[in-house]
């Protein structure tokens, strides 16, 4: 299940251990709206092999700033809190799977 993170403390707790895919997005962003159902379907199918969290850059700019997010959607894969992969823009399901390998 995709979790929406609303505080910096919650973000840090969710990303400090294990593999996590972070979706930095905004509610007004067209490509973010296109990506959301694809991400939800991939997560539901369990094909990503990691937890997924969503961070609204307008509500939690501190988290976006920590990772230098300047465009959205930005997808960042973290392992034990450290960035291991990143992609910008819309991705299809197969691209999401490749990102989280």
Range of the domain at 50: 3-99
Has residue 71 got a pLDDT over 90?
A: yes
The CATH number linked to 28 is: 3.40.30.10
- What is the enclosing helix (H) or strand (E) of 74? strand 74-79
For residues 46 and 71, give the distance between their C-alpha atoms in angstroms, rounded to a whole number: 27
Active site residues: 29, 32
Return d(Cα 25, Cα 89) in angstroms, integer.
10
Q: How confident is the model at residue 84 (pLDDT cuts 50, 70, 90)?
A: very high
pTM for this prediction: 0.94
The pLDDT of residue 1 is above 90? no
Domain count, the chain: 1
Confidence of residue 39 (pLDDT cuts 50, 70, 90): very high
Determine the average pLDDT of the residues in 55-60. 96
Region 10-36 average pLDDT: 96
């Amino acid at each position: 299940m995709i979790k929406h993170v609303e505080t910096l403390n919650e973000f840090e707790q969710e990303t400090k251990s294990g593999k996590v895919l972070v979706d930095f997005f905004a509610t007004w962003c067209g490509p973010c709206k296109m990506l959301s159902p694809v991400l939800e379907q991939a997560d539901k199918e369990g094909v990503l092999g990691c937890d997924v969290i969503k961070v609204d850059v307008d509500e939690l700019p501190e988290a976006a700033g920590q990772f230098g997010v300047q465009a959205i959607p930005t997808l960042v894969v973290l392992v034990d809190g450290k960035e291991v992969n990143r992609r910008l823009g819309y991705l299809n399901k197969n691209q999401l799977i490749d990102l989280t390998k």
